[in-house]
Structure 1
Amino acid sequence: MNASSNTDDFIKEKKDQLAQNADCGNSHYNLGVAYLSQRKWKEAEEEFFAAVESSPTLAEAYVQLGGIRMYQNDLEGCLYFNQKAVKVRPKFPVPYGNIGFVHLQQGEPEKALEPLLQALSLQPKFVQAHTTLASAYYALGDLEKCIDHCARAIKIEPRFAPAYNNLALCYYDQGKFDLALENMDKALEYGFEVVPDFRARLEEHRS
């Protein structure tokens, strides 16, 4: 049986459960996730809204709604739903990480610091938060803090490509071209699409 028919079976099962109990937030949430896997954004969104209506503290549903907005390039919408998630569950690290990421995407790295540090205080091994925080520090010109958080991310997840890309940028700015090349090669090896212009400039220093 292929994954698609498995998902269809799962969706049917959840719909049957909801026919018996329409107020089960978890069933709505799980159905929403199944629709997401099929890229049925509208259906997924409806289920996540139903999930928070039935279970107002189901922060994961707000995070998923934020994810759909991010996919639609609606940064304000993404920010709004992640802030809702934080409100209903203040000790959930994921929305703080997402809030920091949105601020960074909006070109406001200084606003990204506080939510990202909050995410890491709740979950010190939150790899994406370390790397997003590193990017914020890079944007603010604090190369040492950027390098520190990239190193922490790699210690947790040695194949996390964005951290290597950040390190390549930092070492390039410091004039440490061998280290920059070494880290760019790792970023490429682990699937990161390095900006062509930066890659070309760095390649000039390869001996």
Structure 2
Amino acid sequence: MSDPLFKNVDDYIEHLKDKLRQAPECGNTHYNLGVAYLSKREYQDAERSFREAMANSPKMAEAYVQMGGLCLERGDLEGCLNFNRQATQVRPFFAVPWGNVGFVLLQLGDSDKAIPALQKAIKYDPGFVQALATLGSAHFSRGEMEEAVVALTKAVELQPMFGPAWNNLALCSAELGNWTRAAECAKKAQESGYEVPQAFLDEIAQNAK
């Protein structure tokens, strides 16, 4: 919360509550209140606010996405998937929920459905780094190394310090037998702060000679 009119988040929350007393059916204010509670990690209050936002503004896709995030926070992958799917229905060209749908489907082991969802996310937002990285992971899980390299390379071009994508590029390079490139990518992953598994580093060291 960076609004200079308010000293802190609590001050901002009280302001939003005042607004709701005057206009209790404003979905946008309920949504902003949810985001403010989320910043304080007050998840129950955040959920209540997002549910009010959805009830008063059924087409507010961001509220469904936030509810999906709350589900993910407590390990409810199916709940996260359902809320993000609802978000894609009320706002089909919003990239974020498509990316989230793809991520959760991949977590659930369904790369067949994950890949088209991730491709839609990237179509609607070509700079969506997380979706590109997840697409790379999906292709890697299927043994589709060339496709994985394309997606992961785009991800690190857009965000050069994105460690997980560098790590996955190293894995792809190793699978393709390009150990010199694997070593370069693993080093980039480490430079970004990502912890590359020691066993993999040892394997690279043995082969990249």
TM value normalised by structure 1: 0.93
State the partner residue of 2:54. 52
Partner of 1:166: 168
Aligned to 2:182: 180
CA 196–35 in structure 1, closer or farther in 2 if over 3 Å, else same: farther
The one-letter code matched in structure 2 to 1:190 is: S
Work out the CA distance in 1 between the residues paired with 2:109 and 2:198.
21
Specify which of 65, 86, 89 is matched with residue 88 of structure 2: 86
The separation in 1 between residues aligned to 2:102 and 2:134, in whole angstroms, is: 7
After superposition, give the CA deviation of every residue in 1:129-152 in whole Å (9 maximum; x if it has no partner): 111000000001110010001111
Report whether the alignment pairs 1:146 with 2:144: no
What residue is the counterpart of 1:201 in the other structure? Answer: 203
| Residues 97-112 of structure 1 aligned to structure 2 (within 5 Å) | 97-112=99-114
Cα distance 1:196–1:69, how it changes in 2: closer, same or farther (>3 A)?
farther
Q: Following TM superposition, by how much is the alpha carbon of 1:191 offset from its aligned partner in structure 2, in angstroms?
A: 2.2
Give the aligned length: 206
Unaligned runs of 5+ in 1: none
Letter in 1 for 2:57: S
For structure 1, which segment, 115-124 or 193-202, has the greater mean C-alpha deviation from structure 2 after superposition? 193-202
Q: Distance in 2 between matches of 1:152 and 1:6?
A: 38
Task: Give, as a single letter, the amino acid of the residue that structure 1 aligns with 2:149.
Answer: I
Structure 1 counterpart of 2:172, one-letter code: C
One-letter identity of the residue aligned with 1:95: P
Measure the CA separation in 1 of the matches of 2:149 and 2:63: 33
1:65 shift after superposition: 0.4
Does 18-27 or 5-14 show the bigger shift?
5-14
Q: Which amino acid aligns with 2:9?
A: T
| Cα distance between partner residues in 2 of 1:69 and 1:199 | 35
**Stretches of structure 2 lacking an aligned partner (at least 5 in a row):** none
Match of 1:194, SS state, is: coil
String of CA shifts for 1:56-99, please: whole Å, max 9, x gaps: 11000000000011111110000000001011111111000000
What is the identity, as a one-letter code, of the residue corresponding to 1:155? E
Q: Is the 8 A contact 1:100 1:112 kept in 2?
A: yes
Distance 1:11 1:143 in 2: 48
**Partners of 1:23 and 1:174 in 2: CA distance:** 57
Shift of 1:206: 5.6
Percent identical: 47
Q: Which residue of 2 aligns with 1:6?
A: 8
What is the TM-score normalised by the length of structure 2? 0.93
Paired position in structure 2 for 1:113: 115
Over residues 145-175 of structure 1, what are the superposed CA-to-partner deviations in whole Å (9 max), with x where a residue is unaligned?
1000111112211222221011010011112
Match of 1:38 in 2: 40
4+ runs deviating over 6 angstroms: none
Equivalent position of 1:132 in the other structure: 134
1:28 offset after TM fit, Å?
0.7
| Deviation for aligned residue 1:12 | 1.1
Structure 1 window deviating more from structure 2 (60-69 vs 102-111): it is 102-111
1:110/1:140 contact within 8 Å kept:
no
Cross-structure match for 1:77: 79
